[in-house]
Structure 1
């Protein structure tokens, strides 16, 4: 009896240790340290002005902190930037705008690719190039938020004009193809598997991977000479809320199988 209890305790310890390691851990993805569990990222955003149905919203930005920690603390000498596009206006008036489609690509840059600074560059073309160099880190696609098939919705004042100001919200899914909604990034993003957790409740299309919130106005334009018709004539902030999962290492799988094996052995020994 004592031997059986010892084996059961060892099995439980193995299983609990595996579970605990997956509940809260730090994973390094391409040189960026991420903590598993709920994730809140804050970023800048620069985007164009949309005026009518059929227009496409696009832009770029930089993630400055994750879960309240400055990005420079999470990776040495790096930047995490992003570009987005494919958000097509389906309905617009002075106080609201709806979009369908949409994609977002994140890039992790080190050394020469750590170069995003829109207020020191010579124009939006340079900014876009700086926001899209480095290693492809994450590829996302818009997730349906209403019965009409929209993926992002904004409200505010003077929508559709260069003096637009307001807020928006939407949902996103990990896109392993990197080709959804007109995206051209392709496959191979480093962090897709870690963020594919389906932890954001959604009314349509099952759970999503990210909740997206944004503010926008014509204040602090990096290149006012390009406005009002340029590609970065609205600016603001964005937050991405999702969750980071953990991919068990081979030794973790071995420990789990060993624990299950011990449980099975004990169960067989206890049979009459």
Structure 2
């Protein structure tokens, strides 16, 4: 009987230790970050390609995330890469294409992030980004995070501003997103970003320089959100093992 009691106590101790450790670094699909970090879940998207449909004004594009919580991709995704694709942002009103001095509000939109364990891009070479290798690549890459536009002012989910700087048209934007799926959904669906229309999960800003034509641009951006360590499974396991521990204790008392 003594052997059983030691096993029970040892098991509970190990699980308590695992639950405590779970509160620091988390790893979701090969991507690691500290949800208790000062910057929480934030970073820089250094490579972004954006297209504007000349007929409908829809904004779409793709890119790669190269910084998370002030760490490079070699740290937060050491054997993988995080890429993303976005689209469905439709202009509200009659102005479809940006020009100097215009401000265009957009509705709708989505942004999907994928984790890829056979990286074809890097943090600095824009030419390696394509509409294919930044997506799921025919199902080879996992959907890490799925988001849709959060309406923060009426129907507006994203606002784009065009400015003529030294003879060159530059675009900037501000938008909000709600998490709806993906491997990291439970960690990032936190509703902590205050807007004029409820709480969003992620805030993002963009900056683009028109590339050759008014309907294509290269740029960068950054994102900000809150994240949590999902401890429910560990707590459930502790609860079950707690019951197992009580069972062991009951058996011990009956033997006395």
Q: TM-score, normalised by structure 1?
A: 0.68
Mark the runs of 5 or more structure 2 residues left unpaired by the alignment: 1-16, 243-256
Mark the runs of 5 or more structure 1 residues left unpaired by the alignment: 1-16, 177-188, 222-226, 259-272
Q: What does the per-residue CA deviation read over 1:241-263, in whole Å, with 9 as the maximum and x for residues that have no partner?
A: 111112115443455796xxxxx
1:156 maps to 162
2:76 maps to 74
State yes or no: 1:197 paired with 2:190.
yes
State yes or no: 1:33 paired with 2:39.
no
- How many Å apart are 1:86 and its aligned residue? 0.1
1:12 maps to none
- How many Å apart are 1:90 and its aligned residue? 1.1
Deviating 4+ runs (over 6 angstroms): 17-22
> Number of matched residues?
213
Alpha-carbon spacing, 1:71–1:150, altered in 2? closer, same or farther (3 Å): same
1:131 maps to 134
The answer as to whether partners of 2:19 and 2:234 remain within 8 angstroms in 1 is no
Q: Distance in 1 between matches of 2:170 and 2:188?
A: 31
Q: Distance in 2 between matches of 1:169 and 1:119?
A: 22
State yes or no: 1:169 paired with 2:174.
yes
Q: Distance in 2 between matches of 1:213 and 1:96?
A: 15
What RMSD over aligned residues (CA atoms) do the two structures have, in Å?
3.1
1:98 maps to 105
Q: Distance in 2 between matches of 1:19 and 1:169?
A: 38
2:50 maps to 47
Query: What SS does structure 2 have at the residue aligned with 1:175?
Result: strand
Query: What SS does structure 2 have at the residue aligned with 1:137?
Result: strand
Q: What does the per-residue CA deviation read over 1:38-79, in whole Å, with 9 as the maximum and x for residues that have no partner?
A: 211210211124567x41000011000101100111222211
Query: What SS does structure 1 have at the residue aligned with 2:186?
Result: helix
Alpha-carbon spacing, 1:198–1:154, altered in 2? closer, same or farther (3 Å): same
Q: Distance in 1 between matches of 2:153 and 2:21?
A: 37
Q: Distance in 1 between matches of 2:222 and 2:203?
A: 8
Query: What SS does structure 2 have at the residue aligned with 1:130?
Result: coil
State yes or no: 1:240 paired with 2:214.
no
Alpha-carbon spacing, 1:42–1:243, altered in 2? closer, same or farther (3 Å): same
Alpha-carbon spacing, 1:78–1:28, altered in 2? closer, same or farther (3 Å): same
Q: TM-score, normalised by structure 2?
A: 0.72
